[in-house]
Amino acid sequence: MKGWLERLVLLAALLGLALPGQAQDAAVERSIEQVAGNVYRFRSDNHYGVFLVTDAGVIVADPLSTETAAWLKQELRQRFAQDVKYVIYSHDHWDHATGAAEFEGATIIAHANAVPHIAAATAAIAPPDITFSSELDLRLGQGSVHLYYLGENHSDNLIFMVFPEERVLFAVDAVAVDTLPFQNFPDTDIDGLIGALTALEQMDVDVVVPGHGAMGTLADLRAHREYLEDLKDQVTALLRAGNADAVIKSRVDLSRYQQWNAYEQWREANIEGMIAYVKSHYSF
């Protein structure tokens, strides 16, 4: 538990976040931009959610925080004269799922695996009204979003959302554009993540929206998957050759990614996390 809390504190420091129970920074930057058609993304510092505007109301994916949800509710009423009818949790992590209670009367949707995590959470995360296990097609007015669960990856309940009319994929924490994965892959099934990204590459979309950082395309999603495979292949080969961890850390070559964001901060942690993952999942 201590290690997980330390990682949260470090992430908060890097991204300018507040932990559950901490006061929100008055300088938080929030904004809304159009992604395509009726799909928009909203920002709270380096966290992003998305929403779909329809003639029957709004579907919000990831409320992010109580303060952000309250701000977004007012923005939606002022800009579109609409209320939120559905809130979708991409996964149970507090920095994505907190705040749904601000949208009074909205139906909350999450993957079934998120329920016990939400029940045990210290953050005030409203429980879902509807859960699903594999896929769910949600329609509201003239709009729609298709929800996919592709197995354990970043968590055991992360779902992906495709807005078919707008050809937009909300991939949340499974991908970051030109950015190394967070730290040492906490709670991540790396093989599952590689498999999920491989499946997502087949989606018929034009825009990929991560939960953090810049938007991209399927090419960026593929580059992220290739990074994971490159790192895993190098670590696995060095472990099979009988190298100690310190030697592996010195020999893994990730220089082709040195222009990516967080390269200096997270390169070593990525290698350490991959060493731990490969050791725990494979025999040599």
Question: All domains of the chain, ordered by start, with CATH?
Answer: 2-281 (3.60.15.10)
CA dihedral (265, 269, 274, 277) positive or negative? negative
H or E stretch including 235?
A: helix 218-240
Q: Which among 92, 94, 108 is positioned nearest to 65, based on CA atoms? A: 94
**54-106 pLDDT tens trace:** 999 999 999 999 999 999 999 999 999 999 999 999 999 999 999 999 999 99
**134-187 pLDDT tens trace:** 999 999 999 999 999 999 999 999 999 999 999 999 999 999 999 999 999 999
Question: Which amino acid does the sequence have at 186?
Answer: P
pLDDT for the residue 284 = 80
CB 262 within 8 A of CB 281: no
27 φ/ψ angles, rounded to the nearest 5 degrees:
-95, 10
**223-280 pLDDT tens trace:** 999 999 999 999 999 999 999 999 999 999 999 999 999 999 999 999 999 999 999 9
43 φ/ψ angles, rounded to the nearest 5 degrees:
-120, 140
Distance CA 75, CA 60 (A): 13
pLDDT for the residue 15 = 44
pLDDT for the residue 26 = 63
Instruction: Supply the pTM of this predicted model.
Output: 0.89
